[in-house]
Structure 1
Amino acid sequence: MSKEELNDFELEQQTMIENENKTENENNDSLFDGENIVKENPDDKKDRKKRKKFIGTVVAFALVLAVGVVGNWYYENTDASSPIQPLLDSAAQKTLGKAELVDATTTVIEENSYFSSARVERQNSRDAALEKLQAVVDSADESEEAKKAASEKIAQISASISNENKIETLVCAKGVKNCIAVINEDSSRVDVIVDTDDLSDTLIMQIKDIAMAQTGCSFENVSIVQSSSQSNAQQSTDTE
């Protein structure tokens, strides 16, 4: 083979190699571009987002289901009445306390009944006396002196009724629960019956001052009596 032929052969071989390399590079570039197209395809991105969202939804549902199962187990294995029971016990104790107060309420009713009865009895006695005195005043057979004396007695009784009401009002204003005052015929003596838990020396002095101011009677002629239930309770306390 001549030198020229050898050179032509080498040139031809080199050209073939270059063509092969060029073809291979083009194929690689085409493959790389295809991968880029796949990565940058908007539809593929949307699909991936949908898949992620679906997976997130499934995970969230699984968590909710798990919490529900745990909550149901806790509810079934917990005594719901346990935190409420102390409140029920407290209510029962309050009801019991209210039942225990029945005796005290009965005592109060009896006490009020006593004062009411005493007022009615006092009023009936006064009404009867006023009726007799008024009969003397209206009688044509009675002397003028008798009629005058009867009229003075009527005025005295009316004044006593008014003074008794004033005493009772003023004494109750001192914190006494109930009170009844009884003034005798000539207004020389006053008896004051009081319903109070504590008949202190201060209260006694206040009641005496009220009675003396309304009637004009002396200090020693004002008698203060504590109602029987309160005095018995005080005696019981002193004994203990």
Structure 2
Amino acid sequence: MSMMIGKRQIVLATLVVALGAAVFVNWYYTKPDAEKANTGVTVSEQATQAAGNLGDALLVNSSTASSKDGTQESKAEQAQAKVEDEYFAQARLNRSTAHDKAAEELKKTIEDSKASSEAVKTATQELGELSKAIKLEADTENLINAKIGSPCVVVIGNKTAQVVVGKGVLKDDVLVQIKEIVLKQTGFSVENVTIMEAK
């Protein structure tokens, strides 16, 4: 009997370590950079200084005007990209938080001395499934990112997969590529896979 408890504890410890490693890797790649926040202040100060004094005369010709239009379009694209990056970072953070809460509840059940052996067994299995889902989400995201060259978020649970890609990315050929990757990685049926663009 003590040998069974020892094996169970080893398996549980392995699952907890794997889950912890997955959470750390997810946090590491989605944490906001403090340097970017500091750089934003410096860039805005430089832009204010570069603009000169209010009311200064500015020589404008057609080539300058067209380059300014291109710059404005570029700034709009950069702003859109920043919004998308923030969306994906927040989505990954929300997913990670949900995973952490679920893992914490399962660990409480496993460590509860009053829990029945059946409840502990079920919680251990669910913790293992959660760990597999976290790894599967990360692997699937990496493959999709490599294939389409755009960030995405994958959420897997209850034998379903949801994929969110950036705005304007979802075209017919990209949709097929994403579906192929998700179906191959997860083994789910086509009707259990949802792919959408971020708003």
Scaled to the shorter chain, the TM-score interval is: 0.5 to 0.7
Q: Which residue of 1 aligns with 2:190?
A: 219
After superposition, what is the alpha-carbon deviation per residue over 1:160-219, rounded to whole angstroms, capped at 9, x for unaligned?
A: 1111111111111122411100112x3x11011111534232222221121112211101
TM-score normalised according to structure 1 size: 0.54
CA distance in 1, matches of 2:169, 2:138: 22
- Within the candidate set 134, 149, 172, 2:145 is matched to 172
Determine if the alignment matches structure 1 residue 194 to structure 2 residue 162: no
SS in 1 for 2:154: strand
- Within the candidate set 178, 190, 195, 1:207 is matched to 178
Query: 2:162·2:193 contact (CA, 8 Å) conserved in 1?
Result: yes
Report % sequence identity.
Answer: 32
CA distance in 2, matches of 1:145, 1:202: 47
Q: Which residue of 2 aligns with 1:148?
A: 121
CA distance in 1, matches of 2:101, 2:178: 29
CA distance in 2, matches of 1:191, 1:175: 16
CA distance in 2, matches of 1:153, 1:183: 14
CA distance in 1, matches of 2:191, 2:172: 15
Query: 2:164·2:197 contact (CA, 8 Å) conserved in 1?
Result: yes
CA distance in 2, matches of 1:210, 1:219: 11
The one-letter amino acid of 2:162's match is D
Determine if the alignment matches structure 1 residue 162 to structure 2 residue 132: no
SS in 2 for 1:193: strand
Q: Which residue of 1 aligns with 2:28?
A: none
CA distance in 1, matches of 2:145, 2:92: 15
Q: What does 1:122-137 align with in structure 2 at a 5 Å threshold?
A: 122-137=95-110
CA distance in 2, matches of 1:125, 1:151: 18
CA distance in 1, matches of 2:189, 2:175: 15
Determine if the alignment matches structure 1 residue 118 to structure 2 residue 118: no
TM-score normalised according to structure 2 size: 0.64
CA distance in 1, matches of 2:187, 2:168: 28
Structure 2 residue runs without a partner (length 5+):
1-58
SS in 1 for 2:155: strand
In structure 2, the CA distance between the partners of 1:144 and 1:199, relative to structure 1 (3 Å rule), is same
Query: 2:170·2:196 contact (CA, 8 Å) conserved in 1?
Result: no
CA distance in 2, matches of 1:93, 1:200: 31
Q: How many residues align?
A: 141
1:116 to partner: Cα distance: 0.5
The one-letter amino acid of 2:123's match is A
The one-letter amino acid of 2:171's match is S
The one-letter amino acid of 2:193's match is V
CA distance in 2, matches of 1:92, 1:183: 49
SS in 2 for 1:101: helix
The one-letter amino acid of 1:183's match is I
